[in-house]
Amino acid sequence: MKERGRFMDDLAGVAQGAFSAFTGLRDEAEAVFTARVEAVIHKLDIARGEQLAAVQDLAANTRLALETAEAEIAALKARIVVLEGGKAAETPVVVDPITAFPQDVPPASPSDLPPGASNDSHGGNPPTPIV
């Protein structure tokens, strides 16, 4: 009976050693895989989750700053109108809704037109300014 106990102890020791070796192999394989994935990410210049979150935060802060600046500009425009005695600007700025770039505005009256030009480039109706 004592022989059988010693045999089981030896077998348990071998099993434990094999388990330890497989655990070491698994850790080594995981480290190699992680290193290769890191190399591919670096080579392809892919953003990590932390970097993406930082860029998203930056975009949100920029969007908030832009909205604040637009509100301040609108308030300043309103103040200019009040300070000028309620007069609107003589030539409104027309912004193309697709490109968001200012467009040329036709002169307000026919006397402002150059000689030989007509004021019906927009079908007789001047463009509506976007405020």
Average the pLDDT over 29-38 and give the result: 94
- Check residue 97 and give its pLDDT: 64
- Residues forming beta bridges with residue 103, ordered by sequence position: 94
Confidence of residue 54 (pLDDT cuts 50, 70, 90): very high
- What pLDDT digit, counting tens, does each position of 75-103 carry? 999 888 888 886 655 556 666 666 666 66
Strand residues in the chain grouped as ranges (E):
94-95, 102-103
Residue 120 has pLDDT above 60, yes or no: no
